[in-house]
């Protein structure tokens, strides 16, 4: 149970609460959910099983696990170790944004301040004012990093596992309470139908004909989201697998982690999408425009939704951002811990010193992302702000390369049987044997390479992508 909780705590994060709802809203609601579920049950299952089994069979974290299996593939471990450090550096900046919102809602509830109103410009101005401030975004990410460091320094058992047992149930309860509240608001029904009933409207071009390009974009969007949300191809699940007992069933654990993670994503959509629908109808904003808010859905559109529900709005907002803070913290802790564990495994350094050293490195790297929309806005990397650049490099380039090479390695060199045998160590037969073999050898590498190609096209030739 501690293992499943820890892996779910890593998986459930900003990806579920911030990224999933805006992607689902943008890509047509129900149809996105159906595609996402199919991918989680096949591709996600295959990759998570592979990573956990590699960790458990080698008893190593990602840095050395691959080289233990095959000398020439050790470099995959090195890449896998750098990725968490890069991700956590910008993840903590978004964590800082969330803390800022938590504080703002607390001020609204307890101090009766009116920081974000229903007027269209209000929350947008609040958000852009904050992220472009000279120092505040860094200060808030530092608070977030320090809170994570405080838990990590206490160790896996006393810090991480204990905090998970408090934060994870709190997260579930808050998510359920808020979504029930939103669903019961008058006018929520239509939004609910858009979100849950699959229809192909979003796959039609302007002239009403079915568009393969839109379908491909929806599948690619869902696939990228799945990797991010399940913490795959970052080496995290290898490290977690190395902590798992031989008597525990990998197949069953993977299915449970997937269920938890997907449930929270779907509930996050229930909290947000019907609310956006009601707000759009009330304020006369075209639904399509409201649904296409993208990353701003949580930071700009949602505060307007809270403002439009009247006096309960700030309280719901406070509860919502408390939930997001918990989810973001448990994921950031897993990334931070992966770096600390790698360091402690390879140099003689005590946990406190390692936490301090890695924390300082994260804070240093975070500075770039934190100030990249404001004080350092004039500095760009290949035309990107730092945060977007780190996000692109990790999720769109390194992650697909790592995932494709892992599948090729396991499917063709190590052979799927090695993973299946590891999964059967617990005494249960591996039920998804056939699915696993076909996926890992053929389908997974192809799909993952498709993500890589499409992301590179999107970055380098945006006009081609928008066809």
Task: List residues binding ligand PHE (CB under 6 A).
Answer: 10-11, 13-16, 87, 228-229, 231, 234, 236, 331, 334-335
- Of 15 and 359, the one with the shorter C-beta distance to ligand PHE is 15
Distance CA 245, CA 238 (A): 13
Least gap, CB of 326 to ligand PHE (angstroms): 12
Least gap, CB of 217 to ligand PHE (angstroms): 21
- Of 15 and 159, the one with the shorter C-beta distance to ligand PHE is 15
- Of 268 and 410, the one with the shorter C-beta distance to ligand PHE is 268
Return the sign of the alpha-carbon dihedral for residues 385, 386, 387, 389. Answer: positive
Least gap, CB of 265 to ligand PHE (angstroms): 8
- Of 243 and 376, the one with the shorter C-beta distance to ligand PHE is 243
What are all long-range contacts of 338-343, with beta carbons under 8 Å and residues at least 24 apart?
338/61, 338/62, 338/81, 338/84, 338/234, 338/235, 338/236, 338/239, 339/81, 339/84, 339/85, 339/88, 340/152, 341/61, 341/239, 342/61, 342/62, 342/63, 342/81
- Of 53 and 234, the one with the shorter C-beta distance to ligand PHE is 234
What is the end-to-end Cα distance of the chain in Å, rounded? Answer: 47
- Of 11 and 270, the one with the shorter C-beta distance to ligand PHE is 11
Closest alpha carbon to 423 in 259, 260, 248: 248
Least gap, CB of 201 to ligand PHE (angstroms): 28
Q: Could you give the 3-state DSSP secondary structure of residue 282?
A: helix
Query: Cα torsion at 46, 51, 56, 59 (round to 10°)?
Result: 160
CB atoms within 10 A of CB 146: 12
Least gap, CB of 84 to ligand PHE (angstroms): 6
Q: Could you give the 3-state DSSP secondary structure of residue 384?
A: strand
Closest alpha carbon to 295 in 1, 4, 15: 15
- Of 87 and 366, the one with the shorter C-beta distance to ligand PHE is 87
Element (H, E) at 351: helix 351-371
CB atoms within 10 A of CB 311: 6
Least gap, CB of 413 to ligand PHE (angstroms): 25
Least gap, CB of 236 to ligand PHE (angstroms): 5
150 φ, ψ to 5°? -60, -40
Least gap, CB of 441 to ligand PHE (angstroms): 25
- Of 231 and 301, the one with the shorter C-beta distance to ligand PHE is 231
Dump the DSSP string for 306-349. Answer: HHHTGGGHHHHHHHHHHHHHHHHHHHHHHHHHHHHHHHHHHS--
Least gap, CB of 184 to ligand PHE (angstroms): 27
- Of 10 and 242, the one with the shorter C-beta distance to ligand PHE is 10
Distance CA 386, CA 380 (A): 7
């Amino acid at each position: 149970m501690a293992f499943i909780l820890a892996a779910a705590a890593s998986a459930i994060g900003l990806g579920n609460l911030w990224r999933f709802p805006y992607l689902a809203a943008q890509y047509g609601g129900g149809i996105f959910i159906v595609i996402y579920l199919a991918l989680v049950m096949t591709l996600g299952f295959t990759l998570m099983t592979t990573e956990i089994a590699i960790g458990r069979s080698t008893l190593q974290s990602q840095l050395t696990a691959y080289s233990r299996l095959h000398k020439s593939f050790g470099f995959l471990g090195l890449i896998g170790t750098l990725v968490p450090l890069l991700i956590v550096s910008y993840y903590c900046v978004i964590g800082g944004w969330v803390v800022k919102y938590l504080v703002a809602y607390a001020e609204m509830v307890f101090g009766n301040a009116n920081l974000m109103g229903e007027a269209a410009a209000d929350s947008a101005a609040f958000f852009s004012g904050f992220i472009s401030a000279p120092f505040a975004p860094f200060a808030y990410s530092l608070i977030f990093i320090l809170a994570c460091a405080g838990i990590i320094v206490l160790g896996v058992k006393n810090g991480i596992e204990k905090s998970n047992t408090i934060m994870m149930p709190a997260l579930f309860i808050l998510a359920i309470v808020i979504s029930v509240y939103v669903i019961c608001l008058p006018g929520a029904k239509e939004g609910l139908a858009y979100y849950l009933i699959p229809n192909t409207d979003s796959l039609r071009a302007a002239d009403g004909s079915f568009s393969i390009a839109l379908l491909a974009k929806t599948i690619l969007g869902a696939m990228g989201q799945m990797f991010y949300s399940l913490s795959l191809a970052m080496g995290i699940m290898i490290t977690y697998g190395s902590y798992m007992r031989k008597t525990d069933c990998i197949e069953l654990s993977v299915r449970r982690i997937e269920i938890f993670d997907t449930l929270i994503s779907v509930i996050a959509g229930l909290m947000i999408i019907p609310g956006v629908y009601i707000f759009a109808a009330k304020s006369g904003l075209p639904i399509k425009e409201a649904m296409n808010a993208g990353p701003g859905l949580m930071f700009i559109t949602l505060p307007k939704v809270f403002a439009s529900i009247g006096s309960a709005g700030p309280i719901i907002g406070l509860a919502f951002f408390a939930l997001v803070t918990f989810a973001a913290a448990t994921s950031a802790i897993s990334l931070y811990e992966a770096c600390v564990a790698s360091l402690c495994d390879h140099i003689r350094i005590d946990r406190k010193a390692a936490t301090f050293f890695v924390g300082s490195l994260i804070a240093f790297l975070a500075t770039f992302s934190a100030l990249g929309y404001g004080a350092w806005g004039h500095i760009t990397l290949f035309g990107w702000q730092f945060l977007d650049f780190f996000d692109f490099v990790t999720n769109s380039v390194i992650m697909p390369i790592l995932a494709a090479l892992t599948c090729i390695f396991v499917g063709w060199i190590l052979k799927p049987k090695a993973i299946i045998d590891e999964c059967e160590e617990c005494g249960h037969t591996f039920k998804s044997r056939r699915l696993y073999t076909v996926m890992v050898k053929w389908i997974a590498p192809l799909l993952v390479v498709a993500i890589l190609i499409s992301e590179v096209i999107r970055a380098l030739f945006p006009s081609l992508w928008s066809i």
